[in-house]
Structure 1
């Protein structure tokens, strides 16, 4: 059995007050509905950063299932019929609206009791790549659907901590029997994220240059937080093809700003990054957007990979 102990008549709306932001919506549940958590609070997460939060905050009280498999590129993920059923039977869903349109639709159409949108628990901003005033095809679609807001907030430890606080409050409301443990776990996670933020602040404070080139415009929040400039090859879509104008622009940027490295990621092809690096006489390295953990990742969890990213950035930027 899952944690649906009481039925709700009609429709109820719950609000997360952490940071004055965030919302939970609760819908009526039907009698006899049961999840797959084996008596635990049953949480479906959209992809790795959401699953990580659920596991760290929920601890032994939650059963977490991710809709995005390890190694699967999450942006254009398709939801299977089996996953839709699983979503309907769960106690809560944790997702980030604006990153995975198909999951957004599935959640909106579901009758799941507690829906936690991580994007509503912090502030989103516009990041991306424009060339001569024109966004790439995927970026233009992203602007139209989501107001141009960049969803990659988990790469900023400060914003990720804000989301963690909201998720903790959501779990407290959804499973009040274990509220004290959720508060304790949330506080520990927020503290660790604060320490990671200090590591980044200290590690990137004194560098030879501040510009880095990456295939995927996932690092806008990180760059903004630590005074860096992200130049992305493909914009917000990691698999789109850059124009010739964009490639030329990046070659000129690399020369003017003393860029040494073109970063690529583990879940998509490194071909474009290596081609640009070869033509511009630059090296390549991994900067992981942490959309999934695989055996190619430089670590087994969020913190290990973020520390590996910091090491890579320090080397590329000539940190002292």
Structure 2
């Protein structure tokens, strides 16, 4: 198959790839939402961006979140209807930093007349690079995605910072280094993301600038308060070592003085070696760690195996990548889940 594709012209290769993506994605879970005429239509790739965009946009926007409730984002791919909706939207907001590896081909599949602006909302965050063993692809390869945007779409579908982003990080992306995409898990980084979302709304819809600015100010104040609370409370705990199911908490650890030990790599479906689990069990015993953290949207099997081996308990630490059906029903959101994270960290690190 690879040989046959390579013989096609570049345009044919791209068309075939998109057809395969659509066929495979057609069997996945559905996202929610439809285009609303007369509104600024904003398509977001996963929950935290959706929540921040909704908070800032208010009644002036219609938000369509691609990732369905209860689905973990790392290996999710879009459906054909998602391409149709995004083609008609004014804004397409994605995290970037390698989280949504399907984005370059997704943008190539949009209608040729689409005016949607694609914005990488993690732009401006000081990315964490890692040489962790379990290679992540998050549904695709981020290397060269800025170039792909520029070559195939011109200005209409590209993030205005894509070229700059690629230049700044070109030297960092090598076979041994990967960008950690889990920026939103730190309220400090979430503040930057919220500002990027606000600025994208101002660009797309300057007529409602006052409302966007006012709602953004309220959201930023809440995020700043959460940031201060994480900083102050975690400064008091005597222990700083946490063991988590997958490497999703590096930004939180960096910003609030913790050390993260992960069972799996950047992607929650990467498999650790038996030797890694033995070493982690020894670390748990040596450092006096009392809890192994797991997540609701991925299997807790390895976390419980490690906890049993080390003779400790398990507890939830939520990377807020999405909501479960129950959380959505109960009205949970980024702030309630992060508050629970903080309380669990305080309990575990005593």
TM-score with structure 1 length normalisation?
A: 0.82
State whether residues 248 and 319 of structure 2, in contact with CA within 8 Å, keep that contact through their aligned partners in structure 1: yes
Aligned position for 2:49: 50
- Measured on the aligned residues, the alpha-carbon RMSD in Å equals 2.1
Q: 1:251: Cα distance to partner? A: 0.7
Q: For each residue in 1:51-105, what CA deviation from the matched residue of structure 2 results, as whole angstroms up to 9, or x when unmatched?
A: 0111011011111011100111111111111111111111111101210111343
Tell me whether 205-214 or 141-150 shows the greater mean CA deviation. Answer: 141-150
Residue 315 (str. 1) matches residue 321 (str. 2):
no
Aligned position for 1:122: 125
Aligned position for 1:24: none
Partner Cα distance (2:274, 2:42) in 1: 44
Q: 1:36: Cα distance to partner? A: 1.1
Partner Cα distance (1:150, 1:247) in 2: 22
Q: For each residue in 1:2-32, what CA deviation from the matched residue of structure 2 results, as whole angstroms up to 9, or x when unmatched?
A: xxxxxxxxxxxxxxxxxxxxxxxxxxxxxxx
State whether residues 143 and 149 of structure 1, in contact with CA within 8 Å, keep that contact through their aligned partners in structure 2: no
Aligned position for 1:79: 78
The match for 2:278 among 240, 243, 248 is: 248
Aligned position for 2:107: 107
Aligned position for 2:15: none
Gaps of 5+ in 2: 1-33, 145-172
May I ask how many residue pairs the two structures share in their alignment?
279
State whether residues 101 and 139 of structure 2, in contact with CA within 8 Å, keep that contact through their aligned partners in structure 1: no
Partner Cα distance (2:331, 2:261) in 1: 25
State whether residues 45 and 93 of structure 1, in contact with CA within 8 Å, keep that contact through their aligned partners in structure 2: yes
State whether residues 36 and 89 of structure 1, in contact with CA within 8 Å, keep that contact through their aligned partners in structure 2: yes
Distance change (3 Å), C-alpha of 1:144 and 1:187: closer
Partner Cα distance (1:189, 1:246) in 2: 40
State whether residues 127 and 217 of structure 1, in contact with CA within 8 Å, keep that contact through their aligned partners in structure 2: no
Alignment of 1:139-178 (within 5 A): 145=143, 147=173, 148-178=178-208
The match for 2:243 among 213, 231, 238 is: 213
Q: For each residue in 1:115-147, what CA deviation from the matched residue of structure 2 results, as whole angstroms up to 9, or x when unmatched?
A: 11112242212146x3xxxx1243799887483
Q: For each residue in 1:133-190, what CA deviation from the matched residue of structure 2 results, as whole angstroms up to 9, or x when unmatched?
A: xx12437998874831111111111111111112111101101110111011111111
State whether residues 299 and 305 of structure 1, in contact with CA within 8 Å, keep that contact through their aligned partners in structure 2: no
Residue 197 (str. 1) matches residue 195 (str. 2):
no
Distance change (3 Å), C-alpha of 1:87 and 1:137: same
| Secondary structure of 1:101 counterpart | coil
Distance change (3 Å), C-alpha of 1:60 and 1:141: closer
Aligned position for 1:32: none
Partner Cα distance (1:87, 1:268) in 2: 28
Q: 1:296: Cα distance to partner? A: 4.5
Partner Cα distance (1:112, 1:127) in 2: 36
Aligned position for 1:226: 256
State whether residues 57 and 185 of structure 1, in contact with CA within 8 Å, keep that contact through their aligned partners in structure 2: yes
| Secondary structure of 2:242 counterpart | strand
Aligned position for 1:5: none
Distance change (3 Å), C-alpha of 1:279 and 1:119: same
Gaps of 5+ in 1: 1-34
Partner Cα distance (2:60, 2:182) in 1: 28
TM-score with structure 2 length normalisation?
A: 0.75
